[in-house]
Amino acid sequence: MGVTVAGNGTKGESNVQLNHPWGIFIDTKNDDLYVTDSYNHRVQKFTSSSNIGTKVAGGHGYGSDSTQLSYPYD
């Protein structure tokens, strides 16, 4: 049986939602999960104790400015 560890299962842009999550990275030292949230143009971090994400990169719309990402995928 699966367990939800990131997001809430519905597409969206709030800190508990993802929109086309593409890639993941697991920080085994801190038990954190990083998810590239492609259609929200951001990278979200999820701790092992919560399915509420924290934006760590992007999230300011599509673009090439220093605070923006363009469909991150890995």
pLDDT digits (tens, 9 = 90+) for 29-67: 999 999 999 999 999 999 988 889 999 999 999 988 999
Give, rounded to a whole angstrom, the gap between the first and last alpha carbons of the chain: 26
Tell me the per-residue pLDDT of 16-30, one tens digit each, with 9 for 90 and over: 999 999 999 999 999
Cα–Cα dist 52/40, whole Å: 15
The domain 1-73 having CATH identifier 2.40.10.500: the answer here is yes
pLDDT reported for residue 4: 81
Helix (H, G, I), strand (E, B) or coil at 21: strand
Cα–Cα dist 33/67, whole Å: 21
Asked if the model's pLDDT at residue 71 lies above 90, the reply is yes
Instruction: Calculate Rg over the CA atoms of the chain.
Output: 12
* Domain range annotation of the chain: 1-73
